[in-house]
Chain A
Amino acid sequence: MSAPDAFVAKTVGTPVERIEDLRLLRGQGQYVDDLHPEGLLHAAILRSAVPHGVIRSIDVTAALTMPGVRAVYTGADIARDSGGAVPVVSLRLAPLPELEPFGQPVIAHAKVRYVGEALAVVVADSAGLAEDALEVIEVDIESLDVVPDRHASAANKVLLFENLGRNVPITYTAAKGDAAAAFARAPYVRKESFRVQRHSAVCMEPRGVLAVWDGAATKMTVSGAAKVPFATRKILARHMDLPEECVDLIESDVGGGFGVRGEFYSEDFLIPFAARKLNRPVKWIEDRRENLLCSNHSREIDMDLEIACEKDGTIIGLRGQAWVDAGAYMRTSAAVPPRNVAQFVSGPYKIANIEVKSSVMLTNKNPIGTYRGPGRFEGDFFRERLIDMAAGDLGIDRVEMRRRNLPAEKDMPYPLATLNQPEKKEELDSGDYQITLDRCLAEFKWQEKAALQGKLVDGRYHGIAIGCFIEGGAAGPRENARMVADPDGQISVFVGSTSIGQGLETVSVQIAADALGVPMDRIHFFHGSTTYLKEGFGSYHSRSVVMGGSAIIDAARNLKAALRTAAATRLGCAAAEVVIGEGLTASHGGRSLTLAELASAGIDAEGTFANHHHTYAYGAAAAHVAVDPRTGRVQVLEYVTVEDVGRIINPLTTHGQAIGAVVQGLGGTLLEHLQYDENGQFLTGSLADYLLPTSTDFPNIKAFVLENSPSPNNPLGAKGAGEGGIVPVGGVVANAVANALSTLGVEPRELPLSPPKIWALVQTAR
């Protein structure tokens, strides 16, 4: 980068109020269900009430005669139109040939494998009429024995895929050093079994798909896209047997993502399929019951974890086995939680010898995918619990035990365990991990609160805990951006990143404004949709600022280069001699040209940022709880999180993400649980049964976001920062509960820490 193009932060780093708020606050946002094209029809989906069975027949005769019904499609119809077989959705992340046969068909055909699997699609004049018709479809399913949990899955007596002969598609291994040798020589080892319950994102806006088919133009336009529109287009085009350029995915406002929304689901095929068959716009809006039943679940992992330490608390080895209850199919992002729990269970700590296995266990439940901090939230719970137990056994202060095992700045980059199948190496990129730990202790006032540990005050036991964490970000392979400068001085910026409610618009415009040296209000920002760029990658793995932002910087550099070239001949100098100043004026030797003079027909440039190095934001979190042993209620009196994210683009949004992530984590730690009974029936199909945090639950959360250690791996120095807050919550709060109830000997090993569960632990301990 030549000196004149150096990135000078003006708006970056300042608390710019969000651009998107102006429309969202006035009810002018446009979410997918706000779209009402002419001639719109509405779809509803019949879902299996049987967790495992063979479909004998689906009789839609009566449904077709219901008022307003336009069509009903079953697996047989779709197979007939798709070359004889129902399309199967492949893995998007970490695909492997051996996982392909476990993919999910877009509609159940011969078998159903979980309650909620799509059996038929009704299209009618209104959503109500479509739902009325669902009630008269006659389904005959021969029930099979159910695989309700990972133990039944491992037994392989009942198979979800009889032809494949096993319920366990894969076991991953993450390893470094020589774990067996370390454990053999270790003076101290401890092994524990832990469990995290099934829960998920439960975005406030349910999913939705609006498909419009233009037969004359051979064009399928699908609204409601989120997260990865280009990947979704690729899958849809393949299964609809259309060239990719005949399919567009349009991203409008999106009511929350958190990893779950925007992956390719059954409905992303079924609704376009119906629209093409009927040659009419068709919309499907997921209702809340479907959202709880069918959107990706996550987090259900059992783990046996074993730690090996020196007498002084130095951790010399970590090994274990995780069992990930993956539900009935391997969906697009299903490989990530099992892979992450294996690779990241060591967290921020310097551990020389690791061998962790992670098995994917199929069961007759809704399939899983990624949810904010996938595999990391779970792994942190397992590890941080075990560290507190080990510190207790060894008689070492819990803070000191952690401090002793954090890598020093000179250790960076520090390698983590390497994951096999496909191989993935990871290294912590930068940072002084002691700083965030010290800051957290100070903000939490650890010393003052230490006296409260285990104390019974007014009928409640008080406890505190602290834990350290990392957050991965900046998934590759690349991101793209495009800029068009108009003669009137307005600049349009297009980027492949997607907005799922995280403030992408504002932070991207901040980066673009500073990269170009123009005010923010001259930039018009466009994102996500496949119509803007040839290729884009989207928003997941906390990648939008690092990848999209860096691509914007590259596009700005290229735009300035194009302006220099255009100006050079007219200014009579070499391009390199042209100075691009404020407002993109080009000048040399006392003469200058405005953008209007330079680019009468507009001028554009593309940019890209390719990266295979992940960023690692890092931090520490502490909690103070009070536990009522009579009711089992855990009250979080205070929670403090400190995270170094390398570079803060907008302190308002990073702080907001941190607080929001913590509260989501507290939900997963204390309240949220997607429950099935032992027969595979789903029990939590309403928001009265699936308990999300509300405003009265966790009023005292403090977040401190630092930018001490920029990432060396991108021009902004930024690190992915949207997920860190959630990662340590389960471990820290569970340790605080254990600390509170230490006189009773209560050691929580399972989440959620719900009142009945804590009460039961207290009963057993007594």
Chain B
Amino acid sequence: MSATLPTRFELNGRPVEVTVPARTTLADCLRHHLMQTGTHVGCEHGVCGACTVIVDGAAVRSCLMLAVQADGAKVTTVEGLSNDESLTPLQAEFRKHHALQCGFCTPGMLTTAHALLTEEPDADRERIREVLSGNVCRCTGYIAIVEAVYAARGAYGHNPKVAA
């Protein structure tokens, strides 16, 4: 039982260890202790989805998770989606479709879409819309985001024979 806890997990393929107060959310741990500021915090109460990260393959809201709950897990943030300076196919589709304006919700959109397409590369537009409904964007009106995710399915092994 402790108020400050050492926590070890794998972040974007690299092992990390931090000691944080128990009350530290995974989002704040990533941003303010590990200085990975790509994950954004938009509401801190689990509605806006900007803080979405992938924990052991599942998209989760990192503001609704204590950092210590990630102990032993594999965590992927927007920084971990691409290893080099080039954009991933998903990121490139976002750019091509103008699926971002201010960019604040974008990391959460990308991690959510990445988790979705990894699990369901044949997701249709309705499914994409449904999944993205947990991520609020105030700039784009969502249409371009849905189209960008839809267009990126090929990179995740989408079977073109599956009806759209």
A touches B in complex, CB < 8 A: yes
The verdict on A701 contacting chain B, using a C-beta distance below 8 Å, is yes
**A24 and B138 within 8 A (CB):** no
Q: Which residues of B are found within 8 Å of A696, using beta-carbon distances?
A: 129-130, 133
* Residue from B101, B103, B107, B141 in contact with A701 in the complex, judged by beta carbons closer than 8 Å: B141
Q: Which residues of B are found within 8 Å of A699, using beta-carbon distances?
A: 129, 142-143, 146
Contact flag A27-B78 (CB < 8 Å), given A694-B133, A695-B142: yes
**A663 and B142 within 8 A (CB):** yes
Q: Roughly how many angstroms separate A719 CA and B139 CA in the complex, as a whole number?
A: 20
The verdict on A254 contacting chain B, using a C-beta distance below 8 Å, is yes
Q: Which of A24, A27, A255, A653 gathers the greatest number of chain B CB atoms within 10 Å?
A: A27
Range of interface residues on B (Cβ < 8 Å): 35 or more
- Shortest Cβ distance from B143 into chain A, in angstroms? 6
Q: Which residue of A lies closest to B111 (CB)?
A: A27
Q: Is the interface of A mostly helix, strand, loop or mixed?
A: loop
Q: Which of A24, A34, A502, A692 gathers the greatest number of chain B CB atoms within 10 Å?
A: A24
Q: Which of A36, A688, A694, A701 gathers the greatest number of chain B CB atoms within 10 Å?
A: A694
The verdict on B155 contacting chain A, using a C-beta distance below 8 Å, is no
- Which of A202-210, A303-311, A426-434, A458-466 contacts the other chain? A202-210
Q: Roughly how many angstroms separate A693 CA and B129 CA in the complex, as a whole number?
A: 12
- Which residues 98-141 of B have a CB within 8 angstroms of A? 98, 100-107, 110, 129-130, 132-141
Q: Which residues of A are found within 8 Å of B142, using beta-carbon distances?
A: 663, 693-695, 698-699
The verdict on A743 contacting chain B, using a C-beta distance below 8 Å, is no
The verdict on B37 contacting chain A, using a C-beta distance below 8 Å, is yes
**A205 and B141 within 8 A (CB):** no
Q: Which of B102, B106, B142 gathers the greatest number of chain A CB atoms within 10 Å?
A: B102
- Which of B65-73, B89-97, B156-164 contacts the other chain? B89-97
Q: Roughly how many angstroms separate A287 CA and B37 CA in the complex, as a whole number?
A: 17
**A24 and B140 within 8 A (CB):** no
The verdict on A201 contacting chain B, using a C-beta distance below 8 Å, is yes
* Residue from B32, B94, B137 in contact with A204 in the complex, judged by beta carbons closer than 8 Å: B137
The verdict on B52 contacting chain A, using a C-beta distance below 8 Å, is no
Q: Which residues of A are found within 8 Å of B31, using beta-carbon distances?
A: 33-34
Q: Which residues of B are found within 8 Å of A392, using beta-carbon distances?
A: none
Q: Which residues of B are found within 8 Å of A755, using beta-carbon distances?
A: none
Q: Which residue of A lies closest to B108 (CB)?
A: A204
Q: Roughly how many angstroms separate A440 CA and B129 CA in the complex, as a whole number?
A: 27
**A688 and B104 within 8 A (CB):** no
**A24 and B23 within 8 A (CB):** no
Q: Which residues of A are found within 8 Å of B81, using beta-carbon distances?
A: 26
Q: Which residue of B lies closest to A698 (CB)?
A: B141
Contact with A along B29-53 (1 / 0, CB 8 A): 0011001111111111101101000
The verdict on A70 contacting chain B, using a C-beta distance below 8 Å, is no
Contact flag A288-B103 (CB < 8 Å), given A33-B31, A203-B138, A656-B140: no
Contact with A along B71-92 (1 / 0, CB 8 A): 0000001110110000100010
**A204 and B38 within 8 A (CB):** no
**A24 and B47 within 8 A (CB):** no
The verdict on B144 contacting chain A, using a C-beta distance below 8 Å, is yes
**A204 and B144 within 8 A (CB):** no
Q: Which residues of B are found within 8 Å of A25, using beta-carbon distances?
A: 87, 91, 94-95, 100, 103, 106, 110
The verdict on B21 contacting chain A, using a C-beta distance below 8 Å, is yes
Q: Which residues of B are found within 8 Å of A652, using beta-carbon distances?
A: 98
On A, residues with C-beta under 8 Å from B are: 17-18, 20-22, 24-31, 33-34, 36, 128, 201-206, 253-258, 287-288, 500-503, 652-653, 655-657, 659-664, 686-688, 692-696, 698-699, 701
Q: A27-B78, A503-B101, A652-B98 are in contact. List 17 more A-B contacts (CB 8 A).
A: A24-B106, A25-B94, A27-B38, A29-B38, A203-B102, A255-B104, A288-B44, A288-B48, A501-B102, A501-B103, A656-B101, A660-B139, A660-B141, A687-B45, A695-B130, A695-B137, A696-B129
What are 23 of the A-B contact pairs (CB < 8 Å)?
A: A24-B103, A24-B106, A25-B87, A25-B95, A26-B82, A27-B37, A34-B37, A204-B139, A205-B102, A256-B104, A256-B138, A288-B45, A660-B141, A661-B141, A663-B140, A686-B43, A686-B47, A687-B47, A687-B136, A694-B136, A695-B135, A699-B129, A701-B143
